[in-house]
Amino acid sequence: MKSGHFILVLFLATVFASSHCNAPKPTANDPSKENWISLFNGKDLDGWDVKIAKHDLYDNYQNTFSVKDGMIQVSYDGYGSFDEQYGHLFYRQPFSYYRLKVEYRFVGEQVPGGEGWAWRNSGAMLHGQSAASMKKNQDFPISLEAQFLGGNGKDVRHTLNLCTPGTHVKIKGQLKEDHCMESTSKTYHGDQWVAAEFLVLGDSLIQHILDDEVVFEFTDPVIGGGVVNNFDPAVKLDGTPISSGTISLQSESHPIHFRKVKLLNLEGCMDKKAKNYKAYLVKHNPGDCVY
């Protein structure tokens, strides 16, 4: 071999070895590391569907739901009167076992025509029906509403209550058919941000959490009862257990902002032999495992 060829071969071998040494190594799976996902990307409503009563699916009437300053903003600037046009912004993918974190704040004044009970009132609807399964004039999705309420500056007004449009639940083993039930939370007055958290375990347990304290919990949700109108009877099959569904954010006549909507899926691969095993999961899904 000529010396020039030898030097070239040696150089290429050195470059090849160096590139392999400096190549990023595959990240090892940390079974305890929580993989939170942001349902709201901070830029637009990608992944979300709008359904407002009296309007067709996807019709974001008067730009009720918009993204400004990195927040989902619910506003009624184009409304003459609210006129029972209850709206919901649905995350398209359903979930069953998860933790959810939502940061919200009430702002401004209620739109004319809003009900008195809807002042500084909104919510996160859990285990809901899909947006596509709602009828045009349906007011609320069949769901479990974690109700958000803001204070008036002086009176007690709990938040993270439970309201049940088209549903019933059990509390301490007893079936409850009340529409709204109060939590034990403190009152949040003014326009302050509130960090709400939810633990949802299929149909076995749902907890509403504030400041690391459980303020409301219930079990065994089923379809049933009223306080939902103009629904498809084929969807509202009373007595059916509810173990999964959509997550939606509400427009109920008072302006509100959402700046964080994060979810930790608790369903996935629980096989310790798999590359993507996670120790914090609650429900095993063999199809999610990678070996």
- Indicate whether 78 pLDDT > 70: yes
pLDDT digits (tens, 9 = 90+) for 263-275: 999 999 999 999 9
Give the sign of the dihedral formed by CA 156, CA 157, CA 160, CA 164. Answer: positive
User: How many whole angstroms separate alpha carbon 267 and alpha carbon 242?
Assistant: 16
Average of per-residue pLDDT across 247-271:
98
**What whole-number percentage of the chain has pLDDT above 90?**
90
- Indicate whether 220 pLDDT > 80: yes
- Indicate whether 84 pLDDT > 80: yes
- Indicate whether 12 pLDDT > 50: no
Give the pLDDT band of residue 9 (cuts 50, 70, 90). Answer: very low
Closest CA relative to residue 201, chosen from 177, 218, 181, 180: 218
Average pLDDT, the chain: 93
User: How many whole angstroms separate alpha carbon 235 and alpha carbon 223?
Assistant: 9
- Indicate whether 10 pLDDT > 50: no
- Indicate whether 17 pLDDT > 70: no
Average of per-residue pLDDT across 185-214:
98
How many whole angstroms from its chain centre is CA 192? 20
User: How many whole angstroms separate alpha carbon 35 and alpha carbon 288?
Assistant: 14
Structural domains of the chain in order of their starting residue, each with its CATH number: 37-266 (2.60.120.560)
| Strands 267-268 and 283-284, bridge-based pairing | parallel
**What whole-number percentage of the chain has pLDDT above 70?**
91
pTM to 2 decimal places: 0.90
Q: Specify the 3-state DSSP secondary structure of 264.
A: strand
